[in-house]
Chains A and B, each alone.
Chain A
C-alpha cells in the first residue's frame, strides 16, 4: 500500500470521527467534566490533609493543587484514550467496520484515523483542563519549551494507550463491556501511582508498584516539565521517576510496537456479532 493513500484514507476516517465530536458534544463535555470535578473535589476535600503532608504549612491547599494538576492531566488523557476502544467496539457492533472492510481502502487507515482523531480529542480536553487549572490557581512555572514537552509526553503516552484500547475494543465488540472493563483496570492503575498523593504516603508494596507504574512516570514528567514539583520534596529513589520523560517514552514505544500489529490483526479478523 502506498503511504500517501493510507494517509488520505486515515484522514477521511479521522474527519468522520471528529464530525461526531461536533455532533455529539455531550461526549466531550462528559470526558472533561469528570476531571474538572476531580480537580475541585481533590483540591478542596483532600487539599488540607495531603497539602500539609506536602509540608507547606499555611499554603497547603495551593501547594496540593499545584501538585495535583499533573496527576489529573495524566488520568484524563488515559481515560481519553479509552474512547478509541469504546468507539471501535461500537463501530464493530454496528457493522461500520464491516463496511470499511468491504471497501478498497487501506486496512490500516481505520485504526490510524481513529487513534489520530482521539489525539485531537485529548488536545481539546487538555486545553479545557489547563484552563480549569489556571482558574483554581495552578500555574506553569517552567519555560515554554519545557511545558510543550510536558504536553507532548502526555499526548504521546495516551496515543500509545489508545492502541491497547483499540485492540481490546475490537476484541470485546461491545462498548458497554469495554467501558466497564477498562474502568476496572485503569482506575486502580491511575490511583496506585503518584498522581494524587506523594509516593511516601503509599504502603511499601504499593510504593514499589507506583515507582514503576508508567502512570507515575507520565505524571512525574508533566509535574517536572510544568515546574510543579513542590520545593523541598526529596529526589525520587527509583530510576523511572528520576528519568520520567525517557521512561514514559520507552513505555510508549514498547506499547506501540506490540499493539499496533495486534490491533491491525484484530481489525482484519473482526466482524460484527
Chain B
C-alpha cells in the first residue's frame, strides 16, 4: 500500500513558540489518521503545512504523491480542506458557496452547479440550499464547509477538528458523514481533541503534544496503554467492598483496585454498556447495595496522564502562560 500523506521532520516556529518540533507522519492510501492532541499541540499547524497554507521552517512532505513544497499548486488540485472554523461565506447561500468553490476548481459552470446540488443533497442541506449561510446552525455550517472540501472529489482530505463546538447530535451526524466518505476510499487526516472521536473514526492515531509526537498506534493499542474502559463502583456499606470485588471478578478484564475510605472500587472491563449491566445484575443478586456506578472510557486526559504524567490541560495552561 502506498502512502497518500508523508511528512518528515516538520519544524515550525513562531518567534519563540515552537509549534512543531520535528513531526513525522505517514498515512497509507485509503486510511484515516487521527491526529490527537490538546489545544496548542500543533495540530492545525500540521494541517496547514500539508494543505500548502504554511511553509515549514524545516522538513518535507508529500500529499497524493506530490511534493508539498515544490509543487503546492498540484497538491491543491488533489486535496480538500475543512479548517478548524467553518470557512463558509455567510452572505452567499449554501448553493452559491459550493458553486463558487466548484468554479474555482475549474469544473466549469454547468458541472459546478450540478456538483453543488449533489453535495447539498448528500449533506441534507437541500432545504436550506437557497438561504444565506448566515442563517445556518453550527452543524449545518460545518456540513457545508465539509461539502466545500469535497467539491472536486479529492483523493486526500484534511479535516481540522470537524466536530469541535458541535452539540452531541450534530457530532454523531458528522461522524456518520465522515464514515461514509472513508468507505468510498478517501484518505483522511483528521485532528481532534477527543480520544473517543479518534477511536470511532481513525485507523491509526498519532498523539501530539507541544509539537512532538508522543505516541502512535491504533485506538486499541493506545487504550491498552492507558487501561481501556473502567467500571467505577461505590458501595453503600463499606464492609461489603471486598465482597463486591469477588462478585465482580468474572466481569473484570484485569486487576481491580479499591479505595476503602471512599467505599469505591475500579475495575477494567471490556464490552462497555453490557459489562455495566452484567455487573449491576451480579451485585443485585449478591444483595450488595451501591451508591454509584459508572463506566469510564479513557479520555485524552487519561492518555496524557499515562504518557506524560500530567493532564492534557497543562499543555493549555502553558500556552497561556
Interface residues of A, Cβ cutoff 8 Å to B:
5, 8-9, 12-13, 15-16, 19-20, 23-24, 94-96, 98-105, 271-272
Residues of B within 8 A of A9 (CB): 103-104
**Are B83 and A99 in contact, CB atoms less than 8 angstroms apart?**
yes
Known A16-B96, A104-B76; 20 more pairs at CB < 8 Å: A13-B104, A20-B89, A20-B92, A24-B91, A94-B87, A95-B85, A95-B87, A98-B48, A98-B53, A98-B81, A98-B87, A100-B104, A102-B53, A102-B79, A103-B76, A103-B105, A104-B77, A104-B105, A105-B104, A271-B54
> Which residues on the B side are within 8 Å of A100 (C-beta)?
104
B154-165 CB mask vs A (1 if < 8 Å, else 0) is 000000000000
B52 contacts partner chain A, Cβ-Cβ < 8 Å: yes
Among B81, B86, B87, B148, chain A packs the most CB atoms within 10 A around the CB of: B87
Task: Provide the B85-113 mask, 1 if CB < 8 A to any CB of A, else 0.
Answer: 11101111000100011011110000000
Q: Which residues of B contact A102 (CB under 8 A)?
A: 51-53, 76, 79, 81
**Closest CB of chain B to A103's CB: distance in Å?**
5
B240 at the interface (CB under 8 A from A): no
What would be 29 A-B contacts, judged by CB atoms less than 8 Å apart?
A8-B103, A9-B103, A12-B100, A12-B104, A13-B104, A19-B92, A19-B96, A20-B91, A23-B91, A94-B85, A94-B87, A94-B90, A95-B83, A95-B84, A95-B85, A95-B87, A96-B87, A96-B89, A98-B81, A98-B83, A99-B87, A100-B104, A102-B53, A102-B76, A103-B104, A104-B73, A104-B76, A271-B54, A272-B83
Give Cα A65 to B198, complex, Å. 68
B148 surroundings in chain A (CB, below 8 A): 99
Report the bound CA distance from A237 to B54 in whole Å.
52
Q: How far is the CA of A95 from the CA of B144 in the complex (A)?
A: 14
A35 to B84, CA, bound (A): 40
Residues of A within 8 A of B51 (CB): 102
Closest-CB distance, B164 to chain A (whole angstroms): 14
Q: How many A-B contacts are there with CB distance less than 8 Å?
A: 72
* A98 to B48 alpha-carbon distance, docked (Å): 9
Q: How far is the CA of A272 from the CA of B54 in the complex (A)?
A: 11
Contact B104 A101 (CB under 8 A): no
Residues of A within 8 A of B52 (CB): 101-102
CB B178 to nearest CB in A, in angstroms, measures 18
Task: Specify which chain B residues have a CB less than 8 angstroms from the CB of A104 in the assembled complex.
Answer: 73-74, 76-77, 104-106
Q: How many residues of B contact A (CB 8 A)?
A: 29
Bound-state CA distance A102–B83 (Å) is 10
Which one of B79, B96, B106 has the highest number of Cβ atoms from chain A below 10 Å of its Cβ?
B106
* Cα(A69)–Cα(B51), bound, Å: 50
Nearest chain B CB to A194 CB, angstrom units: 38
Indicate if B132 sits at the interface (CB-CB under 8 A): yes
A-chain residues with CB within 8 Å of residue B91 when the two chains form the complex: 19-20, 23-24
Report B44-59 CB contacts with A as 1/0, cut-off 8 Å: 0000100111100000
Is the Cβ of A16 less than 8 Å from the Cβ of B92? yes
Q: Do A103 and B83 have beta carbons less than 8 Å apart?
A: no
Chain B residues contacting A105 (CB-CB under 8 Å) are: 104-106
Q: In whole angstroms, what is the CA distance A241 to B51 when docked?
A: 51
A20 (CB) vs chain B CBs: closest residue: B91
**CB nearest neighbor in B for A21:** B91
The minimal Cβ–Cβ distance linking A95 to chain B, given in whole angstroms, is 4
Taken residue by residue from 109 to 132, chain B's Cβ proximity to chain A (1 for < 8 Å, 0 otherwise) reads as 000000000000000000000001
Q: A19 vs B132: C-alpha distance in the bound complex, in angstroms?
A: 11
Residue of B nearest to A12 (CB): B103
Considering the chains assembled together, what is the distance between the CA atoms of A96 and B97 in angstroms? 11
Residues of B within 8 A of A99 (CB): 81, 83, 87, 101, 148
**Smallest CB separation, A63 vs chain B (Å):** 43
Question: 6 closest pairs, A vs B, by CB?
Answer: A95-B87, A99-B87, A104-B76, A102-B81, A105-B104, A20-B91
Instruction: With both chains docked as a complex, state the minimum distance between the C-beta of A79 and any C-beta of chain B, in angstroms.
Output: 21
Q: Collect the chain A residues with CB atoms within 8 Å of residue B103's CB.
A: 8-9, 12
Which residues of B are found within 8 Å of A103, using beta-carbon distances?
76, 101, 104-105
Asked whether, in the complex, the Cβ of A271 is within 8 Å of the Cβ of B104, the reply is no
